[in-house]
């Protein structure tokens, strides 16, 4: 399927998110999936898991939302990396605690030997995620039409 079809699908998803006032849960699952993976992978490709976990997402969703999105497109290994990274935080529900996340990242992830950084390196720049997202869009193309 042509790349412009995929771009239009992504644009469609974000337009629907705007129409929903930013309420991701108000959208059908196919649209949620595209938004979740597109957003997360863009951040991860820019700066690995450090950037991803430094980010605050609207309505502070659980990181499970992201790994579930990756699984829906067939990116199981990448989803597992997200789940393993979340488990490295020394407190529950890290999505809820920006300050504690920052402290952990600053104190425990200063070099490339940090396990969280290593897990992020597996996902960062992984072209397979984009390929799987495009396949997901192609397989569900009717969900991305007005």
Domain range enclosing 136: 3-144
Q: What is the pLDDT of residue 34?
A: 98
Q: How far is CA 104 from CA 25, 79, 91, 134, in A?
A: 29, 21, 10, 34
> How far apart, in whole angstroms, are the C-alpha atoms of residue 119 and residue 121?
5
What angle separates helix 76-88 from helix 63-72, to the nearest 10 degrees?
Answer: 170
Q: What is the pLDDT of residue 4?
A: 83
Tell me: the pLDDT tens digits for 17-40? 999 999 999 999 999 999 999 999
In this structure, are residues 131 and 3 in contact, taking their beta carbons and an 8 Å threshold? no
Residue 2 pLDDT grade (very low, low, confident, very high; cuts 50, 70, 90): low
Q: What is the pLDDT of residue 50?
A: 94
Answer left, alpha or beta for residue 21, where phi above 0 means left and psi between -120 and 50 means alpha. left
Q: What is the pLDDT of residue 113?
A: 85
**For range 29-55, the mean pLDDT:** 97
The DSSP result for 57-96, as a single string, is -TT---HHHHHHHHHHTT-HHHHHHHHHHHHHSSSS-GGG
Tell me: the pLDDT tens digits for 75-132? 999 999 999 999 999 999 999 999 999 999 999 888 778 999 999 999 999 999 999 9
Total count of domains within the chain: 1
For 125, the enclosing helix (H) or strand (E) is none
Q: Which residues contact 46 (CB under 8 A, 6 or more apart)?
A: none
Rg of the Cα trace of the chain?
Answer: 15
> How far apart, in whole angstroms, are the C-alpha atoms of residue 83 and residue 139?
26
In this structure, are residues 9 and 122 in contact, taking their beta carbons and an 8 Å threshold? no
Residue with tokens 């991305």: 144
């Amino acid at each position: 399927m042509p790349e412009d079809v995929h771009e239009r699908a992504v644009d469609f998803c974000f337009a629907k998110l705007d129409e929903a006032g930013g309420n991701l849960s108000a959208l059908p699952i196919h649209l949620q999936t595209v938004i979740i993976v597109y957003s997360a992978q863009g951040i991860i490709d820019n700066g690995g898991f450090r950037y991803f976990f430094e980010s605050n997402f609207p309505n502070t969703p659980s990181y499970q939302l992201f790994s579930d999105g990756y699984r829906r497109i067939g990116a199981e290994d990448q989803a597992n990396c997200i789940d393993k990274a979340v488990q490295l935080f020394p407190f529950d529900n890290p999505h809820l605690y920006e300050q504690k996340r920052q402290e952990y990242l600053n104190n425990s992830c200063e070099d490339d030997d940090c396990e969280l950084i290593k897990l992020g390196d597996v996902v960062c720049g992984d072209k397979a995620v984009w390929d799987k997202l495009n396949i997901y869009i192609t397989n569900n193309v009717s969900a991305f039409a007005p």
